[in-house]
Structure 1
Amino acid sequence: MSKDNLERLFEKLQNDFDFEEPKNGHQERFLEKLSQNNEVVTLHQKKTNWWKPLSIAASIAIICLLGIQVFNTRPSIKEQVVEIAPEISKTEFYFASLIEEQVQQLKDEKSPETAKLVDDTLQRLEKLELNYQNLEKELVSGGNSKMLLNAMITNFQTRIDLLREVLTNIENIKNLKSYNDENITI
């Protein structure tokens, strides 16, 4: 319909619109007439939507749980060890960097002649690292701190001594091989 047609329609119906309110009790009378015809009539009452408040409450609960997990995490074993003995972190950093440097040197020296020696040394170092982690756990659980700290330092020193000894042996193997190569005559 065009705009003109709509305007003409409203002009024709202008005096025919009913602006009066129904009398009091209109709805009850209407429902009574319908029920006389044996038809069941129910008023469509406004339903309360519970899903919106429930979804908001669930979202808040999830956020709270995540917040509790983030802020209520237990400190790691390393952090607990540092709390018990702050000086151990400096010692561990020093020894760990020294050991890492020598392990890298050991890996660089790996050759077919020294492969078995290098692999065996790396396995021993892993066992010593596991031993060190057990010492940390014992320290956190309340063991004799002086004795455990000494054992931890001894563990580091053992690793360093092992690496130095193996690197010396590898150097001897390389020297022996070059000496044998020089003495071979064609």
Structure 2
Amino acid sequence: MKNENEKLDQLFENLENQWDIQELDNEHLDRFSKKMVLKKKKINYSFIYAIAASVVVMLGVSLFYTNNEKPKELKFASKETKQTDSIFTVLIKNELEKIHEKKSPENEKIINDALKQMKSLDSDYAKIMHELEVNGESKPIIYAMISNLQTRISFLQSVLQRIEESEKLKNLNDEKTI
């Protein structure tokens, strides 16, 4: 330890005349302060560009998803088939809205399971629509389409009924505990 201190002392003795001890002029601080004020006044445009880019990306994503959710119009179907499809589609949409309104922690599992089942029925419906476009209207395809639509509506109604029953049971259990 003593040896190290001696080495440091010797090093500083060798550098004694090499230190830069020149003092700055009085105006140096003023010039430096003015430069700092000028730098603060500049607007950081990168932050504004980042916000604008985020907004553009969000708009693009929302447009992409809203375009995918629009229902397909039946191009190769008759007027009656289009009307049947639109009526059932409105009914299904209304039933789904009712189910979403009933969402609560108690019945969340029922609703999530129902939505999974609806995705399966929706994919079946998409296959039927593809068959309709490829092969044109035929009785078996129209019956399959109507059957799928009826199945979806009755399924959603049974889910709503099950949710209401579970809510009634919960209310009865709550009343008994009071």
TM-score normalized by the length of structure 1: 0.54
Aligned length: 108
What is the distance in 1 between the residues matched to 2:86 and 2:106?
33
1:144 to partner: Cα distance: 6.9
CA contact (8 A) 1:81 1:136 kept: no
Cα pair distance change 1:150/1:142, threshold 3 Å? same
Kindly indicate whether the alpha-carbon contact (under 8 Å) linking 2:95 and 2:156 is maintained by their aligned counterparts in 1: yes
Q: Quickly say closer, same or farther: Cα 1:79–1:178, change in 2 above 3 A.
A: closer
Q: CA deviation at 1:80?
A: 2.8
Kindly indicate whether residue 115 of structure 2 is the aligned counterpart of residue 159 of structure 1. Answer: no
Letter in 2 for 1:94: I
Q: Where does 1:107-126 land on structure 2 (aligned, <5 Å)?
A: 107-126=100-119
Residue 175 of structure 2 corresponds to 182
Displacement, 1:127?
1.3
- Between the two proteins, what is the percent identity of the paired residues? 35
Question: Displacement, 1:124?
Answer: 1.1
Tell whether 2:89 aligns with 1:102: no
1:81 CA drift (Å):
3.0
Q: 1:80 aligns with which of 75, 78, 92?
A: 75
1:13-32 correspondence runs (5 A): none
103, 117, 139: which is aligned to 1:146? Answer: 139
Which has the bigger relative contact order, CA under 8 A and spacing at least 6? 2
Give me the whole-angstrom Cα distance separating, in 1, the residues matched to 2:132 and 2:88.
19
For 2:148, give the aligned amino acid: N
Structure number with higher helix proportion: 2
Unaligned runs of at least 5 residues, structure 1: 1-76
Q: Which has the larger radius of gyration?
A: 1
Query: How far apart are the structure 2 equivalents of 1:174 and 1:107?
Result: 15
What SS class does the counterpart of residue 73 from structure 2 fall into? helix
Deviating beyond 6 angstroms after TM superposition, the runs of 4 or more aligned structure 1 residues are none
